Amino acid sequence: MMKYKILGSSGLRVSEICLGTMTFGLEWGTGADYQESRNIFFHYLEKGGNFFDTANRYTEGTSERWLGEFVKESGRREELVIATKYSLFTEPNKFNDGGNHRKNLIQSLEKSLKRLQMDYVDILYLHAWDFSTPVEEVMRSLEYLVQSGKILHIAFSDTPAWVVAQAQTIAEFRGYSKLCALQLEYSLITRDIEREYFKMCEQMNLPILAWAPLAGGALTGKYLKPDSNEPKRLKPESKRLNSKAIQITQKVVEVAQKMNITPAQVALRWVMQKKNNLVIPIIGARTVQQLQQSLKVLHIELTEDVTQELDEVSKIDLGFPIEFLASDNVVNLLWNGLQYKM
């Protein structure tokens, strides 16, 4: 069954896998209809899941509407942790419908609460950094909504590390609510966040909610089979299908065959075991069968040898200053011959 974690410094008890509900709705052409979405929701509940992720923009608002209906039907609102997001527009060509500013924040949250049929959400994410609203203004506006009781905790998604660090520092010094999590893209194919975010998140007690842990389906191995009839949405020019990504996926498939599990389970477990369980994957599903297969990862462990194989094939250059500071010459100059490992 599902295990649970304390989400950063929030004290919230959340399941070790978060269910993403971007597939709730048919508006974007890749989702599930109402009945299948309902089945996915209740199967996840049955397996012990309590952590749900949505956004005002997902499937043109259908994701929030259906999630709200299912939560209400379950009668378990008090147990569940519901996270939604603001920043992206919901109505095209309206000047202040979109962005990180307070006007959009207020009107976006009000519409989300209405769609969800809730008085409050447990977590509100800033969805993406707009590079125009000062971070001080964002944190002050979010604190106002925490004080109002309409959101309980705040978090950021798709935001530069320097902004996150600044926001957390402002919150600490001014007595505002601090961020309880970050949501970032992370998978064997996309490991960029290891350069700056990992150390920062460890120091600030910020768990990472990983979106696209299967790299849009690339790590399932289905793109290695050109004749496969499985639904595919990645374009041939996608970076998730370049030569390096293909090499990584081939290794994932090889490991899966040796362990008699699916490539998706290998890729998900690698994310879950990363950095002392700092990362929580967000999984989505178009069918209950897909969700069932993904949740089998709860009973899987990757050995140290397998993890090292996957780490090596997907290794990235950490760049300056990390590579520079970790070099033998600089370590020797700093530590004067003493043994030290970053």
Instruction: Judge whether residue 312 has pLDDT over 70.
Output: yes
CA torsion 122→279→67→147, rounded to 10°? 10
Single-letter amino acid code for the residue at 205: N
| Domain 4-335: CATH architecture, name and number where available | Alpha-Beta Barrel (3.20)
Q: Domain boundaries in the chain? A: 4-335
Q: Taking residues 246-269, what's their average pLDDT?
A: 98
pLDDT in tens, 128-138: 999 999 999 99
The pTM score is 0.95
Active site residue 58: yes
pLDDT at 275: 83
Among 44, 58, 186, 223, the one annotated catalytic: 58
Angle, to 10 degrees, between the axis of helix 243-259 and the axis of helix 263-273?
A: 100
pLDDT in tens, 152-185: 999 999 999 999 999 999 999 999 999 999 999 9
**Four-residue CA torsion sign, 253, 254, 259, 260:** positive
Instruction: Judge whether residue 342 has pLDDT over 80.
Output: no
Instruction: Judge whether residue 230 has pLDDT over 90.
Output: no
Instruction: Judge whether residue 317 has pLDDT over 90.
Output: yes
pLDDT in tens, 22-70: 999 999 998 999 999 999 999 999 999 999 999 999 999 999 999 999 9
**Phi then psi dihedrals of residue 73, to 5 deg:** -65, -35
Mean pLDDT score across all residues of the chain? 95
Would you place residue 321 in the very low, low, confident or very high pLDDT band (cuts 50, 70, 90)? very high
Strands (E), the chain: 4-6, 13-15, 18-20, 51-53, 81-86, 121-126, 151-157, 179-185, 208-211, 279-283
